[in-house]
Structure 1
């Protein structure tokens, strides 16, 4: 199971981001980058798929990056916290920038996958289960209409911009990626929330969730997460990877961090790596921009 690409490691996931760039396969590692235009400069760079880069063979990534050629200015990515890399491997791959970007919340799943969940969350689970029903969709792609409506409301609620403001075509393509699991919350027959996960090997990666106002009022998120933990434990998965908090530099005190921490047993680091491929062009494009940002010429892009 671990050798079969799925979720973020599957090339179809990178292809789902075609609104922002063109996928480029990496033959040695088995991963995929997204190649983007740099404004109207005529130059291009590459990024790992948002939110994380995953691949089957991390030992091959250095050779892949070294073989990218002279048509890209730089490459950057956030490494899968459950990837088979070592810090030394990442240092060789990313000699220009390597930093511990965020710690991702993770939960060990066992015979009782909710045993470790904090008391506040457990009370909300009990309440939510009285008010909503959760089911697992046999065909994730059939959820597109309801999911797009939920996600558009999420974008408006949180003023989401940039790469995470997925189009309908991107959302539809993500639902079709192998490894996708969709859990739906309903109340009185109406959809009030949905949570999307990708399963790769023995890890379930939390991808996205969105709710109606009724879903928020009924605490549908707690019912959905509890059902997901129980589902993945029953399937024999070892871990749930929940991602990090909100913002480019979450301090762990935002609401999303508090929510995820309540489900977690530990954290794992997500490293950000950057590599300059054409130094002269990189410096020309960057000018005086970008202290503490990589690539410097894209400073503020995800703000």
Structure 2
């Protein structure tokens, strides 16, 4: 059983949950086959739980209700952001998450049955071909070999966008993530020097963009265009769908540059949902009384401001 858990790919893997262990204790939801992080609530002896960042994925969504019934005796509340390719509809989510189910971010996706030239915008095709005049993209056959290069690339990204908390990812976390089953890494090089990379997880017929980063030289040479263009060619022979993810910010603001960039590689969108359930109502209410920011709409309300 443990071997099977470890071999599950990407966000379904115990290895990925373990990469986030500094933020909570990984816990398997055995009936549905998903993973969450159980967290101590500061200043109390209580715990709550959250789905792994950035998405909660599981094999059997219909069994999630049974897992939640078992969980209800041990945690105050649970919150997750759903996998946009999960086998559920909104009514299934509302049956499980009785307190909060709301559309969160729209992910840009590519149906790879459509040709690359017809799928990608004219603007992006131009800059991809221009980038490939100076950049070579290859698949990392041994993901751990890129570890130091990746740490340098992601450091540039974190500094540029002021990433912190879970989004910043520690060195220890990335050491584990590069060993997660189902990972694929595309690397952009200039004269054999790494200037960008893109990390992917594959779930069945879907390739999910996990993280991408370039350094200053990669940004100058538009290595991201080369990486995205090459990803389409690579995955077209292996899966039907690519999930590029959503725009930046809490709501995937349609005006930001990342949103426009991802839109140019997609021919469809799929919605994710933010879901929350309160198991211990009296404890939840007591905790909220101690946090002056509980009117923000954040869930769980007593953790409002935790990532500010």
Shorter-normalised TM range? over 0.9
User: Residue 76 of structure 1 contacts residue 294 of structure 1 at CA under 8 Å; is this kept in 2?
Assistant: yes
Moved more, 53-62 or 66-75: 66-75
Partner of 1:135, secondary structure, is: strand
Which residue of structure 2 lines up, in the alignment, with residue 231 of structure 1?
Answer: 234
Calculate the aligned-residue CA RMSD, in Å.
1.4
Are 1:272 and 2:274 matched, yes or no?
Answer: yes
Residues 72 and 280, structure 2, Cα contact 8 Å, conserved in 1: no
Partner of 1:296: 301
Give the SS at the match of 1:67. helix
Match of 2:83? 80
User: In structure 2, what is the Cα distance between the partners aligned to 1:170 and 1:91?
Assistant: 33
| In 1: Cα distance, 2:119 partner to 2:200 partner | 20
Q: CA deviation at 1:277?
A: 1.1
Among candidates 244, 250, 253, match of residue 252 of structure 2:
250
- Give the drift of 1:8: 1.0
1:130 pairs with 125, 129, 133, which one?
A: 133
> Residue 212 of structure 2 aligns to a residue in which SS?
strand
Q: 1:40 aligned to 31, 35, 43, which one?
A: 43
SS in 1 for 2:27: strand
SS of 1:267's equivalent in the other structure is: strand
Does the CA contact (< 8 Å) of 1:111 and 1:233 recur in 2?
A: no
State the Cα deviation string for residues 177-225 of structure 1 (Å, max 9, x = none). Answer: 1110000001122110000010110000000011110000000000001
Q: State the alpha-carbon separation in 2 of the partners of residues 155 and 217 from structure 1.
A: 17
Aligned-partner Cα distance in 2 for 1:103–1:139: 32
Indicate if the aligned counterparts of 1:113 and 1:229 stay in contact, CA closer than 8 A. Answer: yes
Point out where structure 1 has 5 or more consecutive residues left out of the alignment: none
Confirm or deny: 8 A CA contact 1:114 1:229 kept in the other structure. no
Gaps of 5+ in 2: 1-6
Pairwise CA distance, 1:111 = 6.1
Distance between the aligned counterparts of 1:124 and 1:88, measured in 2? 42
Partner SS, residue 55 of structure 2: coil
> Residues 217-250 of structure 1: CA distance to partner in whole angstroms, max 9, x if unpaired?
0000000011111000022x10000111101122
User: What is the number of equivalent residue pairs in this alignment?
Assistant: 300
Q: Which has the higher helix share?
A: 2
**Any idea what SS the aligned residue of 1:75 has?**
strand
| 1:124-273 → structure 2 map (5 Å cutoff) | 124-235=127-238, 237-273=239-275
TM-score by length of 1: 0.96
Shift of 1:102: 1.0
TM-score (norm 2): 0.94
Contact 1:114 1:230 in 2 (8 A): no
**Conserved 8 A contact 2:14-2:35:** yes
| 4+ long deviations beyond 4 Å | none
| Separation of aligned partners in 2, 1:87 and 1:150 | 38
Residue 144 of structure 1 aligns to a residue in which SS? Answer: helix
Alignment check: 8 A CA contact 2:153 2:214 kept: yes
Separation in 2, partners of 1:113, 1:174: 29
